A = this chain, B = another copy of it.
Amino acid sequence: MKIAIVFGGSSYEHEISIVSAITMKKVLKNSELSFIFVDKNRILYLIEPDNMKSKFFSSTSYKKSKKLSLKNGAFIVEKMFGTQELSTEVVLNLIHGRDGEDGKIASLMEFYKIPFISPRVEASALSYNKLYTKFLAESLGVKVVEYQHLSKSDERKLTLSYPVIIKPVRLGSSIGVSIVKEESQLEYALDVAFEFDNDVIIEPFIDGVREYNQAGAKSTEWELSIIEEPQKEEFLDFEKKYMDFSRDEQVNSAQISIEIQTKIQETFKKIYDPLFLGSIIRCDFFVVGGEVLLNEINPIPGSMANYLFEDFESMLQRIASSLPKERNIVIDYQYIDSIQQAKGKA
């Protein structure tokens, strides 16, 4: 299958998207891959597979690659003389954070009618924003960790007890996140978070809470991954984070009861269907007193959470073959024609 991987983006997570894309090259061994790099100025480049090394981007060597533009139905490669359509069957959106997770890439693909694997615009807007994720979960009857929302201009008054965790509402990969153990640390942590976003969400920090990750998708049937209990560190340093986005080896299932496993799977399905059809997402859950709480939705998970699936590549192909179709709207100018007849004029 011909897959075009879109990565990079004008995003705080630009660099880890590059790492994710390099990982995909290792994982998708039987596919014919194209790599579409969105640089920090949102210029599109077609990257030769041999150049998929992190240094190629950090050194800005990528700027010598061919540029791409979008036209109805395809990416267009700009050549010395004229242009050529990029031949691809499906786009895999691998931009973490802004552009990729906020609905922009989904909008572009939908507007230009290019089949793509990614959350659609609505799903993106709701899951990119941690506050809206809470609304969504509540409307679906999915329990969430309690929270407080603060805007930059709000009074900095906490309604929760310490320790708390402070997160910018629109970022992933722990950027701008702080754990605050006492009041004296609050101001600084809020300053940090507000550096990245005008809105933050504050939640109780539950020390030692059991966290479980469930990834999945729906093709003609459910495609659920194993459930992983991720290793917890209070802070991830860059090396560990890098490891996280470059993971390509399958991991072991968490040791949990059938009951909890079923609860996690059923909660995942409730969140996914139908809003996230066409995408592979990872949901992070907390289990507290036998109850499953949604912590976060990762609409474009690191390295697409490939390491949680037995045969990621085949699944990708099945999803590509059962993407949601845009509703067909007939435009026949009946309405304008009627007005013209009624008015006897153009």
> Which A residues have a C-beta under 8 Å from some C-beta of B?
10-12, 14-16, 18-19, 40-43, 53-55, 57-58, 69-72, 98-99, 102-104, 106-108, 110-113, 121-122, 124-126, 128-129, 131-132, 135-136, 138-139, 149, 151, 198, 238-239, 242, 274, 329, 331, 333, 335-340, 342, 346
A102:B126 contact, CB within 8 angstroms: no
**A140 nearest CB across to chain B (Å):** 11
**A333 nearest CB across to chain B (Å):** 4
Task: Find the residue from A111, A128, A151 having the highest chain B CB count within 10 A.
Answer: A111
Partner of A238, one of B103, B121, B239, B339: B339
Partner of A107, one of B104, B138, B274, B331: B104
**A287 nearest CB across to chain B (Å):** 26
B337:A113 contact, CB within 8 angstroms: no
| A54-B346 CB under 8 A given contacts A10-B329, A16-B335, A135-B135 | yes
A-B contact list, 11 entries, CB within 8 Å: A18-B336, A40-B331, A54-B340, A57-B333, A107-B107, A107-B108, A108-B108, A121-B124, A135-B136, A239-B342, A242-B339
